[in-house]
Amino acid sequence: MPAPYRFDELGSFQFERLCAELLELEAGLPPHRWRKVADRTQSAVLEDGLTVPREGVRLEGPTVVLVVWLSRHRRSTVARRRLPEVTRAALAREPTLPGSLLIITNGPRATDDERVRRALAHELPQREIRALGKQELSALIDRSPELRFRMPSVLGVRDLAELVREEVRRRSTADPDAAQELARVFVPTYAYAHTLRVLGRHGFAVLTGPPEMGKTATARMVALAAMTAGWEAHECVRPDELWAVFARDRRQVFVADDAFGSTEYRPEAAERWALELDRVLRALDERHWLIWTSRPTPLRAGLRRIHREHGVERFPQPAEIQVAAAELDTEEKALILFRHAQAAALPPAAVTLVQEHGWQIVSHPHFTPERIRRFVGRRLRDLAAGTWTGSVAAAVREEIREPTDAMAASLRALGPEHRALLVALLDAPPGPVPERELAAAVRRHTDVSMPRAPGELVDRLTDHFVRIVPPMSVAWVHPSWRDLLIDDLASNGEARRRFLRSSSLDGLLLALSVGGGATGERTLPLLLEDADWDAAADRLAALAPELFDSEALRLLASLTEAAGGVRKERSQAEIIALGSSVLELLRRRWDALRAPVPISLLQAWFDLAAHLADHPSPPAVTATWIELLPTRSIDIRDPAEATRLDDWVTLVALLDRCASPLLAGFDFPDGQAAILQQIIRQAAGLAERRDVPEVHELLARSLRRLATLAPEHAREGRWIAAYLDARSGELRRDEMVGQRLRRTQPEPDRAVVARVLSDLEPGE
């Protein structure tokens, strides 16, 4: 037998839901068939009987299924008295005597106790009686990956060493041990269930919403459940991290946590994903999932680009894949509070406080899972110990509101060297920052020698402001700290300008960010006065000529987003001036190099140029055209050749839209007529084959665009594309994974909170 799950830590509410999910999977019992029999007891009837899960014994119908929660203390004594009572109450509801009975409890199997077995036989004479206890339930959960997907809370109440294979653990970059700690307090909300449903349809889901609402937790729980089912789990911030570990022959789930920035919308990060979005979407299927945690704006930008360039035939609209993480209902909030309090092993006085003031906590308008964690871990213990002199209501307000006074006071109390390190952390990319890069940022932003090494400073800030990400990286404990520091820096003009004059590209992109803050309304946070703009312009002029292509892409994307998102006339004029200068610097550099320019970079350059009233001279693209132009030896069955063809078609479409004289200079399309016809002939032959599905969609997209750009030479490309799409559809399988967790016993809000928290027990 496997090690039993610690069902007591779930509480009766989640245990009942676990059993309902189990019976739906094993016997097809709909959730709406359950009804309340007594306190912590529910029943349902299967008219045709059922086969007892795992035991293989067929019970004659009608079968009454009883789920009975037994308190941990005096469990055997309670079972002897309670099980016959609730069985009698359940049977009294039935018009005729049922044919069999199945009892499920969180304790030992009921029928193992002789006295209980005799009492049950008295209530249901000459009928089959079976029971499932914690050992039997544990075995059922271990054998059912889908049940673990639906109820990932169980992953926090069992040692996962036997469930996550060593090979999966070794190949994964996600940390299952850290995820299991999260599972101890996780509640599978509607957002979680909807994420599973969307992943089943599209292979990817985008979790949107404000900070602290559980987006990251939801994504990581999907990944942990997948690991117990044999999937690899990987966390990635940039597309290249995804491609570095992508394997077509293995099941993989990717978590791009806060992929587009922290709490500010970072359009340059969004652009990296937006430019790769079509390729990413084509790679995802029932064996490869991607979960983003972000705001909806970057997703919409990426899909707009795809729809503009490639059409809407194969790609979903944003509304089909967004999952809002902010819509917690009362039951979910109460369960979140319960699980945090249960995991904290609180003393009796603290348990009493939670139970007495649970409604006050759960109904607070600024309730978030992160703030509840903080409240349970800190202020609640002070209240229970009597070291807090105010009221419980005041303590709740202090800890749950945004941001807390305690956080602001902590920041003000920092010494100069600790504060300098946190400011330097603002001048770093999103996600964990290697300590050596943080040390370099500290040196950029500090004019005087530091009394202690950055590593020692990090040690003193760890767990309150920052956290260590093994092996040698540093990240914020929570984005709200970053927000608080940005606001603090923005309030001091001299500090702002000192930061701008010393920043790397990352610090300047923070200054140019829009849609930031907890509500998404913070815009250009460090560019408030003319002197700020002057400092940023001077620093950009020094940095722009030396930027790598990936950095230039990020800068162009940020300037484009700011140019389109800022409403103040003065700020818009400053952005246009800054953008014009950057475009000219990049154009001169590329023209001097006479080398091919990546397509994504050219797209970003023209996107920004479209916001300027005086359109700048376009960069020379001859080298890029020669690099991508197909030759007569092209073999579009080769995915690499098909990708290069798609890049060339993208360049043609870009020049047609933004620089038509340049396209005419290449004699398109007449000068490429022979090549276009050869591509059409190869595509027609490829449409009859079934062994190269990976190029079908890519080629179909290229043919559709060519049919529009060069109708006189590639008109038939449109129907060949349609045929390729149809063949590709035959080779794909679209399956549904996961169900929405449905309520079986609706109760008034206050009653729900009281019921959930009544299961809370003091730590031992």
* DSSP codes, 168-209: HHHH--S-HHHHHHHHTT----HHHHHHHHHHHHHSEEEEES
Q: Which structure tokens are listed for 131?
A: 């029971």
- C-alpha distances out from residue 612 to 91, 481, 532, 591, Å: 77, 36, 22, 21
Cα–Cα distance, 478 to 212 (Å, whole number): 8
CB-CB contact of 333 with 752 (8 Å): no
Cα–Cα distance, 312 to 289 (Å, whole number): 21
Q: Is 51 helix (H, G, I), strand (E, B) or coil?
A: strand
**pLDDT over 60 (residue 451):** no
Cα–Cα distance, 365 to 216 (Å, whole number): 21
- Give the residue carrying structure tokens 């399956």: 735
Q: Which pLDDT band holds residue 229 (cuts at 50, 70, 90)?
A: very high
Q: Which structure tokens are listed for 638?
A: 């080769």
CB-CB contact of 678 with 632 (8 Å): yes
For 525-537, what is each residue's pLDDT tens digit?
Answer: 999 999 999 999 9
Q: Is 461 helix (H, G, I), strand (E, B) or coil?
A: helix
| Region 258-269 average pLDDT | 50
The partner residues of 292 in beta bridges, in order of sequence, read 206, 256
At 705, which helix (H) or strand (E)?
helix 696-709
Give pLDDT, residue 388. 60
- C-alpha distances out from residue 732 to 281, 283, 434, 695, Å: 13, 12, 41, 13
Percent of residues, the chain, with pLDDT higher than 90 = 34
For 388-428, what is each residue's pLDDT tens digit?
Answer: 666 666 766 666 655 555 567 777 777 888 888 889 999 98
Cα–Cα distance, 646 to 653 (Å, whole number): 10
- C-alpha distances out from residue 555 to 268, 304, 431, 536, 622, Å: 6, 20, 18, 13, 24
Average pLDDT, the chain: 82
Torsion of Cα atoms, 272 then 317 then 321 then 553, to 10°: 10
At 246, which helix (H) or strand (E)?
none
Give pLDDT, residue 518. 56
The more confident residue out of 617 and 296 is 617
Q: Which amino acid is at 342?
A: Q
CATH topology of domain 145-324: Rossmann fold (3.40.50)
Q: Which structure tokens are listed for 108?
A: 């030992």
* Among candidate residues 261, 35, 323, 17, the one with its CA nearest the CA of residue 147: 17
For 44-88, what is each residue's pLDDT tens digit?
Answer: 999 888 888 877 788 888 999 999 998 876 666 667 778 888 888
Helices (H), 598-638: 599-609, 622-628
Q: Is 142 helix (H, G, I), strand (E, B) or coil?
A: helix
**pLDDT over 90 (residue 729):** no
Cα–Cα distance, 235 to 560 (Å, whole number): 28
**pLDDT over 80 (residue 359):** yes
* Among candidate residues 436, 425, 402, the one with its CA nearest the CA of residue 485: 425
CA end-to-end span of the chain:
26
Helix axes 673-686, 717-731, angle to 10 degrees: 30
- C-alpha distances out from residue 702 to 665, 678, 698, Å: 22, 14, 7
The more confident residue out of 661 and 723 is 661
Q: Which amino acid is at 408?
A: A
DSSP state of 261: -
For residue 471, the number of C-alpha atoms closer than 13 Å in the C-beta half-sphere is: 1
| Region 231-245 average pLDDT | 90
Cα–Cα distance, 231 to 754 (Å, whole number): 38
Give pLDDT, residue 721. 77
Backbone φ and ψ for 2, nearest 5 degrees, come out as -70, 165
**pLDDT over 70 (residue 7):** yes
Residues 6+ positions from 3 with CB-CB distance below 8 Å: 138, 158, 159, 162
Beta strands 322-324 and 204-208, pairing class: parallel
**pLDDT over 50 (residue 267):** no
Cα–Cα distance, 678 to 224 (Å, whole number): 48
Task: Please tell me whether the peptide bond between 30 and the residue prior to it is cis, using omega within 30 degrees of 0.
Answer: no
| Region 470-485 average pLDDT | 81
Q: Which amino acid is at 609?
A: A
**Can you point out the beta strands (E) in 226-284?**
232-235, 252-256
CB-CB contact of 78 with 72 (8 Å): no
Q: Where are the domains of the chain?
A: 7-142, 145-324, 492-620, 623-731
